[in-house]
A and B are shown apart, each in its own frame.
Chain A
Amino acid sequence: MVANVAVRKSREQVTIDGNQAAAHVAHRLNEVIAIYPITPSSNMGEWADEWSAAGQRNIWGTVPLVVEMQSEGGAAGAVHGALQTGALTTTFTASQGLLLMIPNMFKIAGELTPTVFHVSARTVATHALSIFGDHSDVMACRSTGWALLASGSVQEVMDNAAIAAAASLESRIPFLHFFDGFRTSHEVSKIEQLDDADLLALIDERLVAAHRGRALSPDRPVLRGSAQNPDVFFQAREAVNPFYQRCPEAVQKTMDRFAHIVGRRYHLFDYVGAPDAERVIVLMGSGAETAHETVEFLNARGAKVGVVKVRLYRPFSAEHFLKALPKTVRFIAVLDRTKEPGAEGEPLYKDVVTAIGEAYSEGRLPMPHPPRVVGGRYGLSSKEFTPAMVKAVFDNLAAAKPRNHFTVGIQEDVTNSSLDYDPSFTTEPDDVVRCVFYGLGSDGTVGANKNSIKIIGEGTDFFGQGYFVYDSKKAGSVTVSHLRFGPRPIRSSYLVSSANFVGCHQWVFLERYDMLSAAVPGAVFLLNSVYSKDEVWDHLPQRVQEQIIAKKLRFFVIDAYAVAAKTGMGVRINTIMQTCFFAISGVLPREQAIGAIKDAIKKTYGGKGEEVVRKNWEAVDQTLAHLHEVPVPQRAGSGIAVPPAVSPQAPQFVREVLGEIIAGRGDSIPTSKLPCDGTFPTDTARWEKRNIALEIPVWDEITCIQCGKCALVCPHAAIRMKAYDPKHLEHAPATFKHAKSIGPEYKGLVTTVQVAPEDCTGCAMCVDVCPAKNKKETRLKAINMAPQLPLREPERANYEFFLRLPELDRTVPKINTVKGSQYLLPLFEYSGACAGCGETPYVKLLTQLFGDRCIIANATGCSSIYGGNLPTAPWSVNGDGRGPAWCNSLFEDNAEFGLGFRLTLDKHAEFARELLIRLRGELGGELVDALMDASQATEAEIAAQRARVAELKQRLARLDAPEARWLLPVADALARKSVWIVGGDGWAYDIGYGGLDHVLASGRNVNILVLDTEVYSNTGGQCSKATPRGAVAKFAAGGKPQNKKDLALLAMTYGHVYVATVAMGASDQQTVKAFLEAEAYDGPSIIIAYSHCIAHGINMAKGMDVQKLAVQSGHFPLFRYNPALAAAGKNPLLLDSKRPSVPYKDFAYIQNRFKMLTKSKPEDARLLIGGAQDDANRRWAMYEHLAKLYATDGAEAKPAASVAET
Chain B
Amino acid sequence: MELSTTYLGLKLKSPIVPAAGPLATDIGAIRDMEEAGAGAVVLHSLFEEQLEHEAAEMAHHLEHGAESFAEANSYFPQPYEFRLGPEEYLEHIRMAREAVSIPIIASLNGVTAGGWTRYARLMQQAGASAIELNVYYVAADAELTADAVEQRYLNVLAAVKSAVTIPVAMKISPYFTALAGFARRLDRAGANGLVLFNRFYQPDIDLDTLDVAPNLILSSSWEMRLPLRWIAILWGRIQADLAATSGVSNALDAIKLVMAGASVTQVCSVLLRKGIYEISTMLDDMQRWMEERGYESLEQMRGSMSRKSIADPGAFERANYMKTLNSYV
Residues of A that sit less than 8 Å from B by CB? 39-40, 42-43, 46, 49-51, 53-54, 131, 182, 186, 440-442, 444-447, 468, 470-471, 474, 477, 479, 570, 572, 605, 607-612, 771, 773, 778, 834, 865, 1017-1021, 1032-1034, 1037, 1094-1095, 1097-1098, 1152-1153, 1155-1156, 1159-1160, 1162
CB contact under 8 A between A1097 and B79, given known A468-B67, A609-B52: no
A440 to B67 CA separation, bound complex (whole angstroms)? 9
A131 to B57 CA separation, bound complex (whole angstroms)? 32
**A447 to B70, Cβ gap below 8 A?**
no
Which of A49, A834, A1153 is the one whose CB lies under 8 Å from B76? A1153
CB contact under 8 A between A182 and B70, given known A609-B82, A1152-B76: yes
CB contact under 8 A between A778 and B82, given known A470-B69, A611-B52, A1159-B88: no
**B59 to A1032, Cβ gap below 8 A?**
no
Interface string of B56-99 (1 = CB under 8 A from A): 11111111111111111111111111111100100000000000
Q: Which chain B positions have C-beta within 8 A of A1159?
A: 54, 58, 82-84, 88
**B56 to A612, Cβ gap below 8 A?**
yes
**B63 to A39, Cβ gap below 8 A?**
no
Which of A470, A1033, A1152 is the one whose CB lies under 8 Å from B58? A1152
Which of B59, B65, B211 is the one whose CB lies under 8 Å from A1094? B65
Q: Which chain B positions have C-beta within 8 A of A1156?
A: 58, 62, 76, 80, 82
Kindly list the 7 A-B residue pairs having the minimum CB-CB distance in the complex, ordered from nearest. A441-B68, A609-B55, A1020-B72, A1097-B61, A446-B67, A1152-B61, A1037-B77
CB contact under 8 A between A1032 and B55, given known A441-B65, A608-B84, A1097-B62: no
A553 to B51 CA separation, bound complex (whole angstroms)? 47
**A53 to B77, Cβ gap below 8 A?**
yes
Q: 14 A-B pairs, CB-CB below 8 angstroms?
A: A186-B70, A440-B68, A447-B66, A470-B70, A608-B55, A609-B59, A778-B211, A1020-B72, A1020-B75, A1097-B61, A1156-B80, A1156-B82, A1160-B81, A1160-B82
Q: Which chain B positions have C-beta within 8 A of A572?
A: 63
**A1160 to B64, Cβ gap below 8 A?**
no
Identify the closest chain A residue to B57 (Cβ).
A1152
Which of A49, A446, A474, A1098 is the one whose CB lies under 8 Å from B61? A1098
A248 to B55 CA separation, bound complex (whole angstroms)? 54
**A608 to B67, Cβ gap below 8 A?**
no
Interface contacts (Cβ under 8 Å), in number, total 148
Any A CB within 8 A of the CB of B138: no
A773 to B209 CA separation, bound complex (whole angstroms)? 8
Which of A49, A131, A1020 is the one whose CB lies under 8 Å from B73? A1020
**A610 to B77, Cβ gap below 8 A?**
no
CB distance from B49 to the nearest CB of A (A): 11
CB contact under 8 A between A447 and B63, given known A441-B68, A612-B55: yes
**B64 to A1094, Cβ gap below 8 A?**
yes
Q: Which chain B positions have C-beta within 8 A of A51?
A: 79
Any A CB within 8 A of the CB of B216: no
CB distance from B81 to the nearest CB of A (A): 5
**A471 to B68, Cβ gap below 8 A?**
yes
Any A CB within 8 A of the CB of B210: yes
**A608 to B82, Cβ gap below 8 A?**
yes
Q: Which chain A positions have C-beta within 8 A of B57?
A: 1152
CB distance from A1154 to the nearest CB of B (A): 11
Identify the closest chain B residue to A39 (Cβ).
B71
Q: Which chain B positions have C-beta within 8 A of A46?
A: 77-78
Q: Which chain A positions have C-beta within 8 A of B82?
A: 607-609, 1156, 1159-1160
**A1018 to B72, Cβ gap below 8 A?**
yes
CB distance from B207 to the nearest CB of A (A): 11
**B79 to A54, Cβ gap below 8 A?**
yes
**B77 to A49, Cβ gap below 8 A?**
yes
A1162 to B90 CA separation, bound complex (whole angstroms)? 13
**A441 to B67, Cβ gap below 8 A?**
yes
Which of A1017, A1095, A1160 is the one whose CB lies under 8 Å from B83? A1160
A1032 to B76 CA separation, bound complex (whole angstroms)? 7
Known: A479-B68, A609-B54, A1162-B88. 13 other contacts (CB 8 A): A46-B78, A186-B70, A441-B67, A442-B68, A474-B68, A605-B59, A607-B84, A1019-B72, A1020-B75, A1034-B77, A1097-B61, A1097-B75, A1159-B88
Identify the closest chain B residue to A43 (Cβ).
B73
Q: Which chain A positions have C-beta within 8 A of B63?
A: 444, 447, 572
**B85 to A608, Cβ gap below 8 A?**
no
Q: Which chain A positions have C-beta within 8 A of B81?
A: 607, 1160
Main secondary structure of the interface of B (DSSP, over half): loop
A1034 to B78 CA separation, bound complex (whole angstroms)? 9
Residues of B that sit less than 8 Å from A by CB? 51-52, 54-85, 88, 209-211
**A1021 to B62, Cβ gap below 8 A?**
no
Q: Which chain B positions have C-beta within 8 A of A608?
A: 55, 58-59, 62, 82, 84
**A773 to B210, Cβ gap below 8 A?**
yes
Q: Which chain A positions have C-beta within 8 A of B211?
A: 778
Which of A40, A607, A778 is the one whose CB lies under 8 Å from B80? A607
Identify the closest chain A residue to B83 (Cβ).
A1159
A445 to B68 CA separation, bound complex (whole angstroms)? 9
Q: Which chain A positions have C-beta within 8 A of B69?
A: 441, 470-471, 474, 477
A477 to B69 CA separation, bound complex (whole angstroms)? 7
Identify the closest chain A residue to B82 (Cβ).
A1159
**B75 to A1095, Cβ gap below 8 A?**
yes
Q: Which chain B positions have C-beta within 8 A of A186?
A: 70, 73
Identify the closest chain B residue to A612 (Cβ).
B59
Q: Which chain B positions have C-beta within 8 A of A468?
A: 67
Which of B59, B67, B71 is the one whose CB lies under 8 Å from A1018? B71
A771 to B72 CA separation, bound complex (whole angstroms)? 35
A445 to B52 CA separation, bound complex (whole angstroms)? 25
Which of A442, A778, A1094 is the one whose CB lies under 8 Å from B75? A1094
A1004 to B76 CA separation, bound complex (whole angstroms)? 39
**A1034 to B76, Cβ gap below 8 A?**
yes
Identify the closest chain A residue to B205 (Cβ).
A778
Q: Which chain B positions have C-beta within 8 A of A609?
A: 51-52, 54-56, 58-59, 82, 84-85
CB contact under 8 A between A131 and B70, given known A612-B55, A1159-B54: yes
Q: Which chain B positions have C-beta within 8 A of A610?
A: 55, 85
A54 to B70 CA separation, bound complex (whole angstroms)? 26
CB distance from A248 to the nearest CB of B (A): 36
A1156 to B71 CA separation, bound complex (whole angstroms)? 23
**B64 to A442, Cβ gap below 8 A?**
yes
Identify the closest chain B residue to A449 (Cβ).
B67
Identify the closest chain A residue to B211 (Cβ).
A778
A1159 to B81 CA separation, bound complex (whole angstroms)? 8
Identify the closest chain B residue to A773 (Cβ).
B210
Q: Which chain B positions have C-beta within 8 A of A474?
A: 65, 68-69
Q: Which chain B positions have C-beta within 8 A of A1032?
A: 76-77
CB distance from A511 to the nearest CB of B (A): 21
**A1097 to B64, Cβ gap below 8 A?**
yes
CB distance from A1106 to the nearest CB of B (A): 13
Identify the closest chain A residue to B26 (Cβ).
A1166
Q: Which chain B positions have C-beta within 8 A of A773?
A: 210
Q: Which chain B positions have C-beta within 8 A of A1097?
A: 61-62, 64, 75-76
Identify the closest chain A residue to B25 (Cβ).
A1166
Of B52, B55, B80, most buried by chain A (CB within 10 Å of CB) is B80
A441 to B68 CA separation, bound complex (whole angstroms)? 4
**B58 to A477, Cβ gap below 8 A?**
no
A182 to B79 CA separation, bound complex (whole angstroms)? 22
Of B71, B74, B209, most buried by chain A (CB within 10 Å of CB) is B71
Identify the closest chain A residue to B81 (Cβ).
A607
Q: Which chain A positions have C-beta within 8 A of B77?
A: 46, 49-50, 53, 1032-1034, 1037
Identify the closest chain B residue to A441 (Cβ).
B68
A609 to B81 CA separation, bound complex (whole angstroms)? 10
CB distance from A1176 to the nearest CB of B (A): 20
Identify the closest chain B residue to A1162 (Cβ).
B88
Identify the closest chain B residue to A477 (Cβ).
B68
Q: Which chain B positions have C-beta within 8 A of A611?
A: 52, 55-56
Q: Which chain B positions have C-beta within 8 A of A1020?
A: 71-75
Q: Which chain B positions have C-beta within 8 A of A607?
A: 80-82, 84
